[in-house]
C-alpha cells in the first residue's frame, strides 16, 4: 500500500500512540465545549498552585516520553516525540514563567487560542489512535 509508512512504527510507538492520541482527542474535545477553554484559562490564571501542578505534570510526562521513546524513523514515531516536546515546553513554561502566562490568560483571546490549538490536536490525536489500532511494527 502506498501509505503503509504512515502507520509503520516501532512496537513501543504502537503502544504509546493510542495513549497519547486518546489524551489529545479527549482533552481537545473537552476544551471545545462552550466555555470550557475560558474556564480553564481563568482557573489557571487565578490559582497559581493549579498552574504549577499542571505544569509539573506536563513537564514530567513530556520529558519521560522523550527519555523513554527514542525512535525517530517513521512519521508516527516523530509525531509521538513532537507531542512529547510540546508537553515538555508547555510544562516548563508554566513552571518557569507562571506570571507571564497568568497575564496572558487574562487577555480575552487566550481562550480562543486554546480552542485553535485544540482543533490542531484532534486530527493529530485521531492519527495516533489509528497508528495504535492499524499500525504495523517495523
For 14-29, what is each residue's pLDDT tens digit?
999 999 999 999 999 9
Strands 136-137 and 8-9: parallel
Q: How far apart are CA 44 and CA 27, in angstroms?
A: 16
pTM comes to 0.92
Domain positions in the chain are 4-131
For 46-96, what is each residue's pLDDT tens digit?
999 999 999 999 999 999 999 999 999 999 999 999 999 999 999 999 999
Q: What's the first-to-final CA gap in the chain, in angstroms?
A: 15
Structure confidence at residue 1 as a pLDDT band (50, 70, 90) = low
Amino acid at each position: 500500500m502506498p501509505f503503509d509508512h504512515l502507520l509503520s512504527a516501532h512496537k513501543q510507538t504502537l503502544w504509546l500512540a493510542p495513549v497519547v492520541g486518546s489524551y489529545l482527542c479527549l482533552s481537545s474535545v473537552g476544551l471545545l465545549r462552550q466555555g470550557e477553554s475560558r474556564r480553564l484559562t481563568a482557573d489557571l490564571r487565578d490559582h497559581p498552585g493549579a498552574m504549577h501542578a499542571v505544569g509539573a505534570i506536563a513537564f514530567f510526562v513530556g520529558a519521560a516520553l522523550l527519555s523513554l521513546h527514542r525512535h525517530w524513523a517513521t512519521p508516527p514515531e516523530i509525531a509521538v516525540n513532537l507531542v512529547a516536546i510540546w508537553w515538555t515546553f508547555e510544562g516548563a513554561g508554566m513552571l518557569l514563567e507562571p506570571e507571564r502566562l497568568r497575564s496572558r490568560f487574562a487577555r480575552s483571546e487566550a481562550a480562543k487560542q486554546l480552542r485553535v490549538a485544540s482543533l490542531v490536536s484532534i486530527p493529530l490525536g485521531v492519527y495516533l489512535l489509528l497508528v495504535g489500532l492499524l499500525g504495523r511494527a517495523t
